[in-house]
Structure 1
Amino acid sequence: MSLIDRDQGAASAPATPPAGGRRPRPTVADVVRALTTGALPVRVAGYDGSALGPADAGITLAIRSERGLSYLLTAPGDLGMARAYVSGDLGLEGVHPGDPYEALRVLKDEVRLRVPPVAEALSLARALGWERLLPPPPPPQEALPRWKRVVNGLRHSRTRDSSAISHHYDVSNAFYEKVLGESMTYTCAVFRSPDDSLETAQAAKYDLVAQKLALKAGMRLLDVGCGWGGMVRHAAREYGVQALGVTLSRAQAQWAQAAIEREGLTGLAEVRHLDYRDAPPEQFDAVSSIGLTEHIGVRNYPAYFGFLRNRLRPGGRLLNHCITRADNRAPHRSGAFIDRYVFPDGELAGPGRIISEIHDAGLEVHHEENLRQHYALTLAAWCRNLVANWDFCVSEVGAGTARVWGLYMAGSRMAFERNGIQLHQVLATRTGPAGETTYPLRPDWLP
C-alpha cells in the first residue's frame, strides 16, 4: 500500500507508548501538525507511514527519508525545502518536476505555517532527538555560502565572478539547447500575444533591442554578457552590423563561435571568452547589456556604467536589459535558494537605482520599459521545454540539477507574475559636452 493510501483521515495516530511510559518519537505527521495551522490543502506523506491532509488532494508532499525531514527542520524556508527536493528526499507528487509551478502556488497561498512557543519547540526537539537537528551535508548542486566564497576572492573580483558564472552557465550546452529552444537565448523574450511561440518572441526581443539602438549596416556593436551570442548573431545577420560579444562562460563562447561559423557570419560577428572589463578599449556605435547587470554587484554599478559609457562614441546608444526589484528600497541580495543553487553572488536593485546610476555615469536616459509579464511567459515556455525533454535533461545533467532548474524557473515565473521582481529595459545615449545629441524628438523605433 502506498503512503498516499495509508491514511484516509487527518493524521495517523501516535504509536501506543511502550512499557515504562517513555514517549514515542513523533511521526512526520506530528511534526507537520506542530508547524502548521488550519486545514492543509495538500497531502503530506512520511517515510514512517504517517500522513496528514486530505487523501484526495491533488498534490502530495512525500518526505521520503529522515535526511529529508532534517533538511526541512534545520534550514526552514526555501533553502531547507530546496535541499530536500533537489536530493530527492522530498517529492512533489501530482506535478512534473520540470514544472512544479502549481505545487509552489498552493504552498505559498494556502499553507499557513506557525512558530511553536519555545517550550513546545524544545519538547518537540527532545522527542525527535537532537541528532535530527544537525544539518546533513547539502546536495552537491549547492554552492558555498557567501562567507565561505572568499576562497575564490572578494565578491565580484574577476576570479570569483568567473567561478559564479561557471556554476550556472557551464552546465551543459546540450541541456540549454533543450530548455531554451532553438534561439539559445537565456533572457526575457517579448510577446506580442501570449500565443506567440518562444522562438518568435525571442526574435522580437532582439529586434526590439536593435531598433532601440538604431542599428544600421556598417555600425559596430558591443554586447557585454552576450551568452550564446543571440544578439550578436541577430545584429550581424539582420542589420549588417559588425558585432562583438563577450562572456565569462567558456562553454557559451565556444558554442557561440561555432554558431557564427555555421550561419556564415564570420567576419561580421565574433564572441570572445572575456570579462567585460577586458573588452577592447575602442569606442562602439552601440552597446547592449542583456542580462549581465544582475551579476556585477550593486556597489559596482558606477564603474560598470562608466565603463559602458567609455565604450560608446558620442551620440552612441546603450540598451541595458536586466531583472530588478519591484521596490527600490528592497534588499539587493537574493534569497538563500537562488544564491546557493542558481546565481551565486547575484544582486538586484530597483529600476530607480538603475536609472540613477546610468545618469550619474554621464549618460542621458531617454526611455524605460518594464517587461515583467513577458518574463513570466518566457519562464513558462522554458518549463514546458524542460518537461518535454525531461529524460534527456536528466541524462545530461543529473536528476538533482534538473530539479533545481524546474524549481527555480517555476518560482521565478510566480515572482514575475506577482510583481515581486520586474524586467526593465533602459535606453540611454552618450550626449556631447554641450548637450549635443543625435537622439530624435520622438523614439524612432515606435510607429
Structure 2
Amino acid sequence: MTSTYRSSSTHGSVPGQPRRRPPVPTVADIVRAVTNGEPKVRITAYDGSEIGPADAGIGLHVANERGLSYVLTAPGELGMARAYVAGDLEVRGVHPGDPYEALRQLATGLQLRLPAPGEALRLVRGLGWERLLPPSPPPQEAVPAWRRALAGLRHAKGRDAAAIHHHYDVSNRFYEMVLGPSMTYTCACFRSETDTLEQAQANKYDLVAGKLALKPGQRLLDVGCGWGGMVRHAAREYGVRALGVTLSKEQAAWAQAAIEREGLGHLAEVRHLDYRDAPLEQFDAVSSIGLTEHIGLRNYPRYFRALRDRLKPGGRLLNHCITRADSRTSRKPDAFIDRYVFPDGELAAPGRLVSAVHDAAFEVQHEENLRLHYALTLAGWNRNLVEHWDECVAEVGLGTARVWGLYMAGSRLAFERNEIQLHQILATKTTKDGVSSYPLRPDWTA
C-alpha cells in the first residue's frame, strides 16, 4: 500500500528521486492555451516569447511577471486593464490617449477561450501556484462592491456621494483639457460629422431647450448638472432662471465661478446638492442629462416621482442617459467600468426607462436614440486627451490618464457596435383632466 501511494504521488517519477516540475510555460504558451487560433495582433513578453503576425500594426507587450500575474488572477478585461494601468502591459502602435484602434482589432483579433481543466492544471503547475496570488491593484481602482457596501446600501446618499467623488473630482483642470471649452461631459448632437465638438455640444443644449420649450422667465431645474453647461446655456441663450444641482463639490465650485465670470448670476445658480434634496419649488421644466446612470434601477420610481413633484402642471421633463442595447444583458457595468470609472453605475434598456417615466404619472411624448452621436463625442474627447497628453499626465498621473484613454476609446467602440445606446425621453406632467400643454405636433426642431 505504501509503495503504491508513493508511486502515484510522484506521477511516474523514479522512487527516491525528486519529482520533476513541468517545464515553465512561456507567455506565448499561455496565449495559445486561452485563445482560439493564432492571434491577429502581435504579442511579445519579457521572457522573449512571441506570438502573432510579425507585421501586425498593433502589438501587446507583457513587460514583467507582475503584468502576467494581473492577467492570470483576473482573467478577462479587468486583469488586462490592471496591467495596462500599472504600466505592466504595453499597447504598441497607438497613442495611450486613444487606444481605440487597438481595442477595435483586439475585439476581433483575439478570441479568448477557457482552457481544458487538464491543460489549465499543467500551466499552473509549470508557472507555480504563487502566480495565482493577485498583486495589489493599481491605486486608481475603486474597492469592490462588497467593500463599498460597508459604506452603506447601494445608492444611499453617502455611498452615491463617494462614487461621484471617485469619478468626477479627478481634477477640474484635467476635465478642461479633455472636454474642451464647453466643459460638457455628456453626449453631443452632431448635425454632421464635420461639426466641431463645441458646435455639437451647443446643438445638444439647443435640442434639450427646444424639447423643453424654454422661454424667457421660465424656471429650469437641471439635476446632475455637472459643470453647469445646460444651466449656463439656458440662462444665456433663452433667458431662463436655471438651478443646477450636483453631488460633486469641485463641479459645483467650477460651475458657480463660471456663472459669475459670464455675468449670469442673476439668472443661474449651481448648488452642491443631492437631487433628492433639491428645492420643492414648482419648475416649468426639468432636465436630467447623464444622471440616471447613477440612480440605480430599483430607485427609478422614487427618482421620477421626485422630478415630477418639482414640475408645474403641464411642465416638461427631458431625461437623457446611456442605456443597454437589450434587456437580456446585465444592468451592472463590466468589471473595468465598475472599478475604474463608474462605481455602482447601472444601465436600463430604453423600454424600462420609458415604463418607469410612464409609471411615475408622466405622459411620454417623444423618445430618440443618439447612439452614434456618443461615439463621435468620445472620439473628440480622445483627440483632446492626445493633444494635451503631457499636461494631463502632469495633472493627474500616468495611470489615471491611461484609465481615461482606455475608458473613452472602449466606450466609443461599444457605442459603434451597438452594445450600449443613448436615449432621450421627453415627457409632460399632464393634469388629471388630460391637459399636457404639448402641441399636436412637436414644437422643437430636430
TM-score of the superposed pair, with normalisation by structure 2 = 0.95
Instruction: Name the structure 2 match of 1:6.
Output: none
Question: Shift of the alpha carbon at 1:235?
Answer: 0.2
Distance in 1 between residues matched to 2:19 and 2:335, nearest whole Å: 44
Question: Shift of the alpha carbon at 1:150?
Answer: 1.7
Instruction: Name the structure 2 match of 1:359.
Output: 358
Instruction: Name the structure 2 match of 1:216.
Output: 215
Instruction: Name the structure 2 match of 1:86.
Output: 85
Instruction: Name the structure 2 match of 1:225.
Output: 224
Distance in 2 between residues matched to 1:396 and 1:259, nearest whole Å: 21
Instruction: Name the structure 2 match of 1:199.
Output: 198
Tell whether the 8 Å contact from 2:59 to 2:91 is kept in structure 1 after alignment.
Answer: yes
Instruction: Name the structure 1 match of 2:158.
Output: 159
1:313-360 Cα deviation digits (max 9, x unpaired) = 000000000000111333211111000000000000000000000010
Distance in 1 between residues matched to 2:329 and 2:114, nearest whole Å: 25
Instruction: Name the structure 1 match of 2:3.
Output: none
Q: Establish whether residue 409 from structure 1 lines up as the match of residue 408 from structure 2.
A: yes
Q: Establish whether residue 378 from structure 1 lines up as the match of residue 377 from structure 2.
A: yes
Question: Shift of the alpha carbon at 1:65?
Answer: 0.9
Q: Where in structure 1 are there 5+ consecutive unaligned residues?
A: 1-18
Distance 1:235 1:125, change over 3 A: same
Distance in 2 between residues matched to 1:272 and 1:441, nearest whole Å: 36
Instruction: Name the structure 1 match of 2:348.
Output: 349
Instruction: Name the structure 2 match of 1:282.
Output: 281
Instruction: Name the structure 2 match of 1:238.
Output: 237
Distance in 2 between residues matched to 1:436 and 1:55, nearest whole Å: 68
Instruction: Name the structure 1 match of 2:58.
Output: 59
Tell whether the 8 Å contact from 2:22 to 2:125 is kept in structure 1 after alignment.
Answer: no
3-state SS of 2:104 partner: helix
Distance in 2 between residues matched to 1:218 and 1:37, nearest whole Å: 63
Distance in 1 between residues matched to 2:196 and 2:445, nearest whole Å: 23
Question: Shift of the alpha carbon at 1:366?
Answer: 0.3
Question: Shift of the alpha carbon at 1:51?
Answer: 1.4
* Equivalent residues in 2 for 1:30-429, closer than 5 Å: 30-429=29-428
3-state SS of 1:37 partner: coil
Distance in 1 between residues matched to 2:325 and 2:270, nearest whole Å: 33
Tell whether the 8 Å contact from 2:32 to 2:38 is kept in structure 1 after alignment.
Answer: no
Distance in 1 between residues matched to 2:323 and 2:175, nearest whole Å: 24
Instruction: Name the structure 2 match of 1:7.
Output: none
Tell whether the 8 Å contact from 1:189 to 1:374 is kept in structure 2 after alignment.
Answer: yes
Distance in 2 between residues matched to 1:208 and 1:320, nearest whole Å: 12
3-state SS of 2:393 partner: helix
Distance 1:20 1:346, change over 3 A: closer
Distance in 1 between residues matched to 2:276 and 2:402, nearest whole Å: 34
Question: Shift of the alpha carbon at 1:22?
Answer: 5.0
Question: Shift of the alpha carbon at 1:23?
Answer: 3.8
Instruction: Name the structure 2 match of 1:430.
Output: 429
Instruction: Give aligned pairs, total.
Output: 429
Q: Where in structure 2 are there 5+ consecutive unaligned residues?
A: 1-17
Tell whether the 8 Å contact from 2:222 to 2:286 is kept in structure 1 after alignment.
Answer: yes
Tell whether the 8 Å contact from 2:22 to 2:122 is kept in structure 1 after alignment.
Answer: no
Question: Shift of the alpha carbon at 1:151?
Answer: 2.4
Give the root-mean-square deviation of aligned CA atoms: 1.2
Moved over 3 A (4+): 19-24
Question: Shift of the alpha carbon at 1:20?
Answer: 9.6
1:130-155 Cα deviation digits (max 9, x unpaired) = 00111111111110111110222110
Distance in 2 between residues matched to 1:270 and 1:322, nearest whole Å: 23
3-state SS of 1:377 partner: helix
Question: Shift of the alpha carbon at 1:251?
Answer: 0.3
Amino acid at match of 2:436: T
Distance in 2 between residues matched to 1:419 and 1:287, nearest whole Å: 28
1:92-146 Cα deviation digits (max 9, x unpaired) = 0111111111111111112122322111110110000000111111111110111
Instruction: Name the structure 2 match of 1:10.
Output: none
TM-score of the superposed pair, with normalisation by structure 1 = 0.94
Q: Establish whether residue 24 from structure 1 lines up as the match of residue 19 from structure 2.
A: no
Distance in 1 between residues matched to 2:89 and 2:235, nearest whole Å: 47
Instruction: Name the structure 2 match of 1:11.
Output: none
Amino acid at match of 2:268: A
1:278-337 Cα deviation digits (max 9, x unpaired) = 101111000000000000100000000000000000000000000001113332111110
